[in-house]
Every structure is written in structure tokens, then in C-alpha cells.
Amino acid sequence: AQSVAQPEDQVNVAEGNPLTVKCTYSVSGNPYLFWYVQYPNRGLQFLLKYITGDNLVKGSYGFEAEFNKSQTSFHLKKPSALVSDSALYFCAVRDENYGQNFVFGPGTRLSVLP
């Protein structure tokens, strides 16, 4: 069975500082990993994904994520946080096996303080 954990309900960071939102996963096969962001009263927006290859993937709005197979982690990072990055962030996993649906983590609320 697939599962995703986001160990922090809330992350606070000062504007201009680097940010990290953590995600760990569990799948039976090779994972496809995704990050989404949700702003208030909006649907989820796709940020980036890991399929295979380079462990560091770059996405929208200056975000990047690092895949670590040994630690089964896929942490989201940004070198310099903006107040406008404040939102709810979801990590999701899909097993490479046929017919598996997406499984989303519980979400991490990021607050960037001016």
C-alpha cells in the first residue's frame, strides 16, 4: 500500500530565508512523486514532480525538491522564501504499478513572515 507522511503540520520561516517542507513516502514499487500547493479557496496547483534521473528536480516559482531513495524522502525547498509562498503544501505519491491512484499527504501549512 502507498502512503505519504508530512511530519510538520506547520512551518514558519522568515521572508528571505530558505524553506524546507518535508515529505516521506512508502510504496511497493518505484515512486512517482509530486508536490502541489493550495492557496485559500483554490484548487491544488502542480509545482513539480520526480519521475527518474536527477535527484534534484526544479519546478514552478523557484521551488525545487530533492529525492532521496534511501531515506524515502522528497523534501520541497526554496532558497529564499517570499510572503506570497504562504499556503498549504501537499506531497503526493503514485506507485509505478498500473492502476494505482494518487495518495496525498495531510498537508503542511507554510507561513512566511515579513
Partner 1 sequence: KAGVTQTPRYLIKTRGQQVTLSCSPISGHRSVSWYQQTPGQGLQFLFEYFSETQRNKGNFPGRFSGRQFSNSRSEMNVSTLELGDSALYLCASSLRRTGAYEQYFGPGTRLTVT
Distance CA(26)–CA(64), nearest Å, equals: 21
Tell me if 85 sits within 8 A of 110, measured CB to CB: yes
Q: Which residue, 17, 15, 4, 9, is CA-closest to 72?
A: 4
Stretch that binds partner 1, among 15-23, 60-68, 74-82, 93-101 (CB under 8 A): 93-101
| Given 12, 18, 51, 60, the residue binding partner 1 (CB under 8 A) | 51
| Given 1, 54, 99, 114, the residue binding partner 1 (CB under 8 A) | 99
CB of 103 to partner 1, least distance (A): 8
32-46 burial: b if 16+ Cβ within 10 Å, else e: bbbbbbeeeeeebee
Regarding 103 and contact with partner 1 (CB under 8 A), the answer is: yes
* Residues of the shown chain interacting with partner 1 in the complex, contacts defined by CB under 8 A: 32, 34, 36, 41-46, 49, 51, 90, 94, 96, 98-107
